Structure 1
Amino acid sequence: MGLWTLLEGFLLIANALAILNEDRFLAPRGWSFSEVSGGGGAKTLKGQIIGLIYATQYLRLPLIVLNIIIIVVKLVSG
């Protein structure tokens, strides 16, 4: 497993986190941002994971660009 494969794996995980919908998936399971933003919940592991999910959703445009780069490199390299 090379560095390129590892980077592709991280990109796939970021894509998976970016498409999670708060209203339909996260909130019914108790993973909404409003639950953690109130008290000191942002310092817990659950709060940090929710923050990571929201960070990936906020950075969707760079994710789209990275996906396009990965696709082009895969097409060129064969």
Structure 2
Amino acid sequence: MGLWTLFEGFLLIANALAILNEERFLAPKGWSLSEVPGGRKKSLKGQIVGLIYATQYLRFPLIFLNLVFILAKLVSG
């Protein structure tokens, strides 16, 4: 497994987190940002919720990274 494959895996995970919908998926399961109290943001659940919202906030750079990876795959063969 090379470094490029590792980066591809991280990109796939980021894509999966970016498409999660708060109203349809996160809130019914108790994983919305409003359900994490202010003092508990350092808990594991609070950090995971923060990571999900960070990936949703950075969708446009994620789209650019997807294009770079797609173009690199097309060029490399």
Smaller-chain TM-score range?
A: over 0.9
TM-score (norm 2): 0.97
- Long gaps (5+) in structure 1: none
The residue that corresponds to 1:64 in the other structure is 63
**Aligned: 1:43 with 2:18:** no
Q: Shift of residue 39 of structure 1?
A: 3.1
| C-alpha distance in 2 between matches for 1:70 and 1:50 | 26
Q: Shift of residue 41 of structure 1?
A: 1.7
- Long gaps (5+) in structure 2: none
Render the CA deviation track for 1:51-71: whole Å, top value 9, x for unaligned: 000000000000000000000
Letter in 2 for 1:27: A
Percent identity, aligned pairs only, is: 79
Secondary structure (helix, strand or coil) at the match of 1:61 reads helix
Bigger share in helix: 1
TM-score (norm 1): 0.96
The residue that corresponds to 2:24 in the other structure is 24
**Displacement over 3 Å in runs of 4+:** none
